[in-house]
Chains A and B, each alone.
Chain A
Amino acid sequence: MIAVELGKLARRPRTWLSIGLLCALPVLVAVFLAVTELGPGPGEQPAFLSAVLSNGALFPAAALAIVLPIFLPVAVAVVAGDAVAGEASGGTLRYLLLRPVARTRLLAAKLLSLVAFVLAGVVAVAVTSFIVGVALFPSEPAAVTSVSGVTLTASELAARIAGAVFYVAVSMLGVGAIALFLSTVTDSPLAAALGALAALVTSQVLVTLDAAGAVRPYLPTRYWLAWIDLFRDPILWRDIDRGLGLQAVYVAVFLAMAWANFATKDIKS
């Protein structure tokens, strides 16, 4: 079943289109930056972009910061929102269940293919942006300066970028789980994706609001930028650990809700 789900994901033009668009945005930014050499000042958003002008090898980190706030969660919400609701609205859900595929198993396969999509997307962004960064900017992969001013070796940099890729992918799973849950509630893939994005925007607004300080540590986007701490020396683990824990809680809660809802639901589509 998992192989079937991955096959369906790979056969959808939309999968490759969204990954292509994810990779294209940082490339666009890189081209503008290389042509004008007008970087944002140090410390301004998006992170790392000012440093890229002097060392292109850091561009994967900047690219992650560029796609993280909107592009990546939108892609994840669309794919996850489509997971069950898309099958329901197309009528194929009932034939899968009659095949028979147990409902729990179907949900697990959908989740795993979502994880595969997120990983593929984030890794693709990291790889393309590294190539573009090295091609367009002066690069010394062996001597990248960390946020704290210490010089990183090439292998240290690779490990930290890999860590950032992993952290960003995990950060997306919370949104994915919310969208997957909504996907079991409605038969409209659009409604499920928009619902998850609404939750996301709410979270992003509240994170910046001092009045909402009491709930801030529990917002799904609160620790989204914590992977930047991977580029400090020594690495600041506190927010990264909290971010991973928080995402795990969101995934567990919304998956449990998705399962409870889907396993007992009347399939009327």
Chain B
Amino acid sequence: MITTSGLTKRYGGVLVLDAVDLSVQEGDRYGVLGPNGSGKTTLIRLLLGLVYATSGDIRVMGQPVPRRLNTVLPEIGALVEGPAAYEHLSGRVNLALLDAAGPGGVRRTRNSRIAAALDRVGLAGIDNRPVKAYSMGMRQRLGLAAALLRTPRLLILDEPTNGLDPQGIREIRDLLHDLNAAGTTVFISSHLLPEVEQLCTRVGIVDQGRLILQSDLAALHTPTGRVIVATPDADQAAVLLDGRVDQRTGDRLLVRETDPAALNARLVGAGLRVTQIVAEHLSLEDVVLAVTRPGSDRVDRPDDRS
């Protein structure tokens, strides 16, 4: 669906993206994670032909971008760096103007498509207030409605849940799940780990302009070779497992062991009570923190930074 090879972008002398090889398959829910200023938005702008690459190739739906943008863009719904609308007009009028501005917006079906899109994002009952009276969450929903107006094959959404409350975040996540189940490929960027972890099947991690990791989410959750044990008999357990306990906090032990079942049998066999036992897995947060450096919004003194 999206492939880039050696994609590089400089603004002036500043390297913003450095040799990015992205690969998104049809049907993926792909999340690009990265700290602020890592190049996520620039990557999205490049994919959509808003900015032009310094070097490297982009293919979207098999077509070269930006050369064949006109055939690619009609099948893409996008949200780039926050929603935008004409402030003095209502949400409906904004959608109608946008729809009329380009190809494929059949006038006969316009009103019903607008109603359907507003319904999907939870704005079905919106009145004729101008957009300047909208809350941030309503603007975000309107932006999503604009992206859904012509049932795109590919959704490219930059921080799709920005400005939404927990309830709204949940709604949008469910909406994206539904659209994906109906065949839409979903590509989002975010700096929020839970958002990507709960929505995506595949994840790419961008840091300082480089795509430093690209993997199925499931593959990242590898076992660490340790088992978390909670037991009221922590003292005896620590003695029994002497040398294999990496860490102890209260009655929780972190034991080097790959098989939780065998460990459980051994503890119970020794007459120790076990309240919880589970293999430890890497969380997405562990992976991200291990491979990224602080975001560009953190500015340390030069000697503090390695």
Does B associate with A? yes
Residues of A that sit less than 8 Å from B by CB: 1, 3-4, 7-8, 11-13, 90-92, 94-102, 264, 266-268
Which of B74, B78, B89 interacts with A11 by CB under 8 Å? B89
Residue of A whose beta carbon sits closest to that of B48: A98
Q: Is B84 an interface residue (CB 8 A)?
A: yes
Q: In the docked arrangement, what's the CA distance between A268 and B52, Å? A: 11
Q: How far is the CB of B208 from chain A (nearest CB, A)?
A: 19
Quick one: closest A residue to B149, CB to CB?
A99
Contact assessment for B84 and A268 in the assembled complex, using a CB-CB cutoff below 8 Å: no
A100-B11 Cα distance, complex, nearest whole Å? 24
Say what secondary structure dominates the interface of chain B.
loop
Question: Chain B: interface residue count, which band?
Answer: 20 to 34
List, sorted by A's number, 25 A–B pairs whose CB atoms are closer than 8 Å. A1-B101, A1-B102, A4-B97, A4-B101, A8-B97, A11-B89, A12-B88, A13-B88, A94-B81, A95-B78, A95-B80, A96-B98, A96-B102, A97-B49, A97-B50, A98-B48, A98-B78, A99-B98, A100-B70, A100-B102, A266-B11, A266-B51, A266-B52, A267-B51, A268-B50
Contact B73 A100 (CB under 8 A): yes
Chain B residues at the A interface, C-beta cutoff of 8 Å:
11, 45, 48-52, 69-70, 73-74, 76, 78, 80-89, 93, 97-98, 100-103, 146
Q: How far is the CB of B71 from chain A (nearest CB, A)?
A: 10
Are A92 and B45 interface neighbours, CB within 8 A?
A: no
A98 with B76, Cβ < 8 A, contacts A90-B84, A92-B84 known: yes
Q: Kindly identify which residue among A90, A91, A96, A268 contacts B45, using a CB–CB cutoff of 8 Å.
A: A268
Contact across chains for B146 and A95 when beta carbons are under 8 A apart = yes
B-side contacts of A92, CB under 8 Å: 84-86
Judging by beta carbons under 8 Å apart, are A102 and B101 in contact? Answer: no
Give 6 closest A-B pairs by Cβ, nearest first: A91-B84, A99-B102, A266-B51, A100-B73, A267-B50, A4-B101
Q: In the bound complex, what is the Cα–Cα distance between A258 and B249 (angstroms)?
A: 67
In the complex, chain B residues whose CB is within 8 Å of the CB of A94: 50, 80-81, 84
Q: How far is the CA of A102 from the CA of B102 in the complex (A)?
A: 9
CA distance A92 to B87 in the complex (A): 10
Q: Please state if B97 and A98 are interface contacts (CB–CB under 8 Å).
A: no
| Interface of A (DSSP majority class) | helix
- With a CB–CB cut-off of 8 A, which chain A residues contact B103? 100
A99 and B52 contact, CB distance less than 8 A:
no
Q: How far is the CA of A94 from the CA of B51 in the complex (A)?
A: 10
Closest to A266 in B: B51
Contact of B102 with A90 in the complex, beta carbons under 8 Å: no
Q: A11-B89, A92-B85 are in contact. Are A4 and B100 (CB under 8 A)?
A: yes
Complex: A3 Cα to B100 Cα, angstroms = 9
A264 contacts which chain B residues (CB < 8 A)? 52
Of all chain A residues, which has the CB nearest B86? A92
A residues in contact with B69, CB < 8 Å: 100
Q: Which of B51, B80, B83, B87 contacts A98 (CB 8 A)?
A: B80
Taking the closest CB of chain B, its distance from the CB of A59, in whole angstroms, is: 35
Q: Quick check: A8 and B86 within 8 Å, CB to CB? A: yes
Chain B residue nearest in CB terms to A267: B50
Q: Which residues of B contact A98 (CB under 8 A)?
A: 48, 50, 73, 76, 78, 80
Q: Apart from A96-B98, A267-B50, A268-B50, list 17 A-B contacts with CB within 8 A.
A: A1-B101, A4-B101, A7-B97, A7-B100, A8-B86, A8-B97, A11-B88, A90-B86, A91-B82, A94-B50, A95-B80, A95-B98, A99-B102, A100-B74, A100-B102, A266-B45, A268-B11
Bound-state CA distance A130–B82 (Å) is: 49
Given the contacts A90-B86, A98-B76, A100-B69, A266 and B50 also touching, CB distance less than 8 Å: yes
CB distance from B84 to the nearest CB of A (A): 3
Chain B residue, CB-CB nearest to A97: B50
The docked-state distance in angstroms from the alpha carbon of A94 to that of B45 is: 9
Determine if B70 and A102 form an interchain contact, defined as CB atoms under 8 angstroms apart: yes
